[in-house]
Structure 1
Amino acid sequence: MLKGLLRLAPVAALLLMLCSTAHAEDGRRVFTGTLGKMPIVLEMNLFQPDEVTGRYFYEKYHRDLELSGSLQEETLTLTEGNNRYGDDKPLPTLKLQETANGWQGEWKSPKGKILQMQLTEAKLPAPAADALPFIAALPKSDPYEYLRLQGLKLKPGKKESFMGYDLQWWTQPESTLSMFSIESGYPKADQQRVNQQLLERLWSEVISYHGCLLQGGQYAEFDQGVSPQFLSPDVVSLSIATSYSCGGAHPDFGDSPINLDVHTGHSLSLDDVLWVGKGKPLLHADRDSAGDTSLTEEESNARFTYQREVFVPWLIKQFTTLYPGEMQKPTDENDCDYTDESVWGYSNWHFTAKGLYLGPYFARVQRNCDDPGWSVLPYAVVKQHPGAVKLQLPQN
């Protein structure tokens, strides 16, 4: 089962295995301590003393509170929260003095309540031996988020069968975000690699959720739905649809599917599955944590040229033949124009039982045109143009 994958190293069991966090190269420093009697984790960027920024969370609640202020004459003065939406309300303040290994001072509410603060440079519990690689890398890349995730758990939800495979759903209660793991149907090693990718994506979305709430403040929203789309001996494909409002001028939404090669656990790029260019695909695959994914300038230009001059015109021609009604050029400029090559340039795609679904991407004012549902390229067509990875695809 997934007990090892799901468990984040408990702090209490690792008190003798602590390592100090190094100062981040960008100026961020992470501290742990207390505000009053409540344990907190606090991050500050002290790179510019006149524009100090930061955030902190109570270990009991895990939700960020924004900090901003300045360091003057050895006194760090910070404001908690902001009035970016024009409320102009009084806000709590922090006044801190640096100590040998951290900071100390007081937090003061707008009504005058004062609580003492004690902060020391954070020491991180070592990751569990069976921790997900994504979690194990956080102490160096993002110690603040690592400490947040230490206090979060996954709650088992419903079980279901999908395309002959048994799924177990998991929910992270504070964020309400969910993901499934696959409990049967694949060889053990393949199943473990796939589940690792799925659960790592869940934890990365939890981090995104908290980042959105910090940026959006009281008006922030972050809702997400995960839907399995296609499971086969070679492929695991799912849709992750997110609706969010994180402080920008308007809310937004989008789909960011996962398409995995079961035998390697690697993400599949569209070029791995479908290639209509000459010669071999330009890039074998878009890899997640599996080597160097960077492209040379020449490769990047070649890939852009292929997408714009070869793939998109070919795709529009295929869809015009398959779906002539939907692909008619509209008479009203406000209607969805699926003949516009620009909307297919960065398609979100996933596998379905009938073929590859390729979703267009419209500008914000026409986002209702996204995800039309009909834009499926049958496997009979896909098989005529195989990509870099050999896949057994259904007959249709």
Structure 2
Amino acid sequence: MLKGLLRLAPYAAALFTLISTAHAEEGRRVFTGTLGKMPIVLELNTTQQDEVTGRYFYEKYHRDLELSGSLQDSTLNLVEGNNRYGDDKPLPTLKLEETANGWQGEWQSPQGKKLPVKLAEAKLPAPTSVTLPFVAALRNDEPYEYLRLQGLKLKPAKKENFMGYELQWWTEPETKISLFSVESGLSKDDQQRVNQQLLGRLWNEVISYHSCQLRGGENVEFMQQAEPKMISPAVVSLNISTSYYCGGAHPDFGDSPLNIDVKTGHPLSLEDVLWVGEGKPLLHAERDSLGDKPLSEAESDARYRYVSKELVPWVIQQFTALYPTEMKKPAQDDDCDFTDESIWGTTPWYFTDKGLYLGAYFARVQRSCDRPDWSILPYSVVKQHPGAVELQLPKD
């Protein structure tokens, strides 16, 4: 499943009036300037001088153009684009010389047209009082994406009443990515926390879209649908289904749910809700997106052992008792085998009004078996095995 690759730092509430210089991790540097008369944002990694990589976008269009090449002394020779999925056609080039605060030189088309290029180390506008925590955190962690999002705005779309809560849908026009915010039914503070997560996720999906565009070339596909599954005073739960082709042999699809603890605004891991192991549940196991310290190797190993040795066998046992017909081992090898432990190890899950939905994930040749509509664990069962977070779950 295509997911955003960013790990975000905590949001600083204080507002900064000074403008800072862009510093990205892993040797990446971000520049702003012009190509011809058009403003651009450019990111470069010159750590390996014989294999320089980068990308840039025109501020008017926001779509990435890939860069690759080499750095010799203070001269940067780059090719724009690639022939990864097409004919061996001529490509535009950039030849740049290093300056005291950036690069300057020229861009040349395959037909010989030349345009001047001037770049300086990027200066990043400070977050404002209305900047989402997700976007504010990009300023330090992913300044290139931070600058891209400065030029994008959400457009209000339809309104919807779902389970007694008013939802406002928003769309980012260039990518067509849509998600909702909750406009009524929660307290002001709860609503703010939840909407920061929801709209942050929308922007993260916009970043994923552009990442897919960069890797996929001319035949890229990225179609997405978000669907609310349950909203209550305790949780907001939704599923995001994505069909995508970002290069490679085949297109694919997958689900990436978001489950939010209303009282804290934190995303919930399955261990937060359901725990069938020994001892205390693994608390907040999937909260890297809020800037929490990543799991250590020992913690990751412990979680893997719990999922494979305890959770998955337990889930199969429960579903076999609840849905004996669906869980019956198939007569033929190419039929859907829901007794296979490997299909439950990376379970997408979300809340429903009937119980906790746990999805299956099959190998490519059996992807039609994904998303069974029956694999719901009743809340009466879930409540017998509470997770790390105390939640008021509905009745079955």
State the TM-score, normalized to the length of structure 1: 0.92
Question: Residue 22 of structure 2 aligns with which residue?
Answer: 21
Q: 3-state SS of the aligned residue for 1:63?
A: coil
Does the 8 Å contact 1:282/1:302 carry over to 2? no
Deviation at 1:17, TM superposition (A): 4.4
Question: Residue 33 of structure 1 aligns with which residue?
Answer: 33
Does the 8 Å contact 1:336/1:366 carry over to 2? yes
Q: 3-state SS of the aligned residue for 1:360?
A: coil
Q: Within 5 Å, give how 1:1-396 maps onto structure 2.
A: 17-22=18-23, 24-290=24-290, 292-396=292-396
Letter in structure 2 aligned against 1:59: E
> Identity over aligned residues, as a percent?
71
Write the distance in 2 (CA, Å) between the matches of 1:297 and 1:121. 36
Write the distance in 1 (CA, Å) between the matches of 2:265 and 2:74. 51
Question: Residue 7 of structure 1 aligns with which residue?
Answer: none
Deviation at 1:46, TM superposition (A): 1.1
Write the distance in 2 (CA, Å) between the matches of 1:75 and 1:149. 30
Deviation at 1:366, TM superposition (A): 1.3
Q: 3-state SS of the aligned residue for 2:324?
A: coil
Q: 3-state SS of the aligned residue for 1:50?
A: coil
Does the 8 Å contact 1:240/1:256 carry over to 2? yes
Deviation by residue 1:29-85 (Cα, 9 ceiling, x = unmatched): 111111111111111111122111111110000000111111224321111111112
Letter in structure 2 aligned against 1:369: C
Does the 8 Å contact 2:282/2:303 carry over to 1? yes
Deviation at 1:289, TM superposition (A): 4.9
Does the 8 Å contact 1:353/1:394 carry over to 2? yes
Q: 3-state SS of the aligned residue for 1:41?
A: strand
Does the 8 Å contact 1:92/1:109 carry over to 2? yes
Q: 3-state SS of the aligned residue for 1:204?
A: helix
Write the distance in 2 (CA, Å) between the matches of 1:295 and 1:142. 21
Write the distance in 1 (CA, Å) between the matches of 2:94 and 2:290. 43
Write the distance in 2 (CA, Å) between the matches of 1:297 and 1:75. 42
Write the distance in 2 (CA, Å) between the matches of 1:277 and 1:109. 61
Q: Structure 2: where are the runs of 5+ without partners?
A: 1-14
Change (3 A) 1:232 1:172: same
Write the distance in 2 (CA, Å) between the matches of 1:290 and 1:146. 17
Question: Residue 6 of structure 2 aligns with which residue?
Answer: none
Write the distance in 1 (CA, Å) between the matches of 2:271 and 2:126. 39
Deviation at 1:256, TM superposition (A): 0.9
Q: 3-state SS of the aligned residue for 2:350?
A: strand
Deviation at 1:298, TM superposition (A): 4.4
Write the distance in 2 (CA, Å) between the matches of 1:72 and 1:288. 39
Greater RCO, 1 or 2 (C-alpha within 8 Å, sep 6+): 2
Write the distance in 2 (CA, Å) between the matches of 1:210 and 1:317. 41
Write the distance in 2 (CA, Å) between the matches of 1:32 and 1:298. 42
Change (3 A) 1:383 1:26: closer
Write the distance in 2 (CA, Å) between the matches of 1:141 and 1:72. 28
Deviation at 1:19, TM superposition (A): 2.1
Deviation at 1:101, TM superposition (A): 1.8
Deviation at 1:111, TM superposition (A): 1.1
Instruction: Please provide the CA RMSD for this pair.
Output: 1.8
Q: 3-state SS of the aligned residue for 2:192?
A: helix
Residues 216-225 or 229-238, more deviating = 216-225
Letter in structure 2 aligned against 1:379: Y
> After TM superposition, which residue ranges in structure 1, 4 or more long, deviate above 3 angstroms?
288-302
State the TM-score, normalized to the length of structure 2: 0.92
Deviation at 1:227, TM superposition (A): 0.2
Residues 206-215 or 70-79, more deviating = 70-79
Letter in structure 1 aligned against 2:22: T
Does the 8 Å contact 1:267/1:285 carry over to 2? no
Q: Structure 1: where are the runs of 5+ without partners?
A: 1-13
Deviation at 1:105, TM superposition (A): 1.3
Write the distance in 1 (CA, Å) between the matches of 2:381 and 2:288. 28
